[in-house]
Amino acid sequence: MPKMIIHDYEIPCKGVQKKILYHFSDLHLSMADELSSDAERQAAERNTASWREGRKHFARSTGEPCDEEQLIEAEAHFENLMQKAQEDGDALLIAGDLFDHVTGADIRWFEKRFSHLAIPYLLACGNHENPTKIPDNCALARIKQPVQTLDLGDLVIMTFENSQRVITKVQIDALMSQLTQGKPIIIAMHIPIQAEHNKAHKALDEYFRLNHAECSEETKEFVKILYANTDKIVAVLAGHLHFLNVCELTPGLTQYVSSQGLLGNINRYIIGE
């Protein structure tokens, strides 16, 4: 059995019936199939080999565990995490960088693999998932949408496409409109918000920040809206950092960044009352 590391959190939320939400990110899969050319197959092998090492580098630099049992193929981790989420989860969020580059084989694999899941899910677009390479008429095209919404009855999860570290007016309008509905909202995206008071955040360069020094006015506005609505925004969930980070962004609003799915990390939240 491949090793999995489950990080458990409780998020009390009035008026929400208890739910289990699973969250993982950063698998950086590179698939190949019978339709892949030799060059595509070799590229997939190269990417997979590079992440075999890359994941160790991230774990070492942040002091996270990375033992032999965790050094299995990324796809084996993926299957293990998916099985866990479908065992008792009410919903699943994959917070981006599921794929390393997005190839034809990745698109075909996604279509098959995600067609019959036992739970509702959202997949956020990561910076490794170049939306320009994803045709409109495929299942994976869902990640190109500015906002995806998953309504769980008394709780809504909204995914914002922020793979280029930009939030747009369309996305702000969608958030404002959802806020007027009054239901508690979980915000999900790939690139996290950085808080100046967080030591781990301070050490990171601009590449890891949604609210970086040169970010757009709309992006700043988006963060402000979240901070001003902590009574309705339950939590912010993100990926991209390749290490686990939990940070109270502002009083009453916590951001949970999942560590590498590549090493079997998964977050589990019990939300509600």
Residues within the interface to Fe ion (CB under 5 A): 26, 97, 126-127, 240
CB of 143 to Fe ion, least distance (A): 13
- Helix locations, the chain, DSSP H: 38-62, 74-88, 104-113, 169-181, 199-202, 217-228
CB of 215 to Fe ion, least distance (A): 16
Is 70:263 a contact under the CB 8 Å cutoff?
yes
Nearer to Fe ion, 127 or 130 (CB): 127
Nearer to Fe ion, 5 or 119 (CB): 5
Question: Residue number with the shortest CB distance to Fe ion?
Answer: 97
CB of 92 to Fe ion, least distance (A): 18
CB of 222 to Fe ion, least distance (A): 19
Nearer to Fe ion, 175 or 241 (CB): 241
CB of 190 to Fe ion, least distance (A): 6
Give the residue carrying structure tokens 């998964």: 266
Identify which of 236, 230, 240 has the alpha carbon closest to the alpha carbon of residue 255.
Answer: 236
Nearer to Fe ion, 46 or 112 (CB): 46
**In a 3-state reduction of DSSP, which class is residue 146?**
coil
Q: Which DSSP helix (H) or strand (E) runs through 172?
A: helix 169-181
Nearer to Fe ion, 90 or 129 (CB): 129
Separation between Cα atoms, residue 220 and residue 108, nearest integer Å: 37
DSSP 8-state assignment for residue 55: H
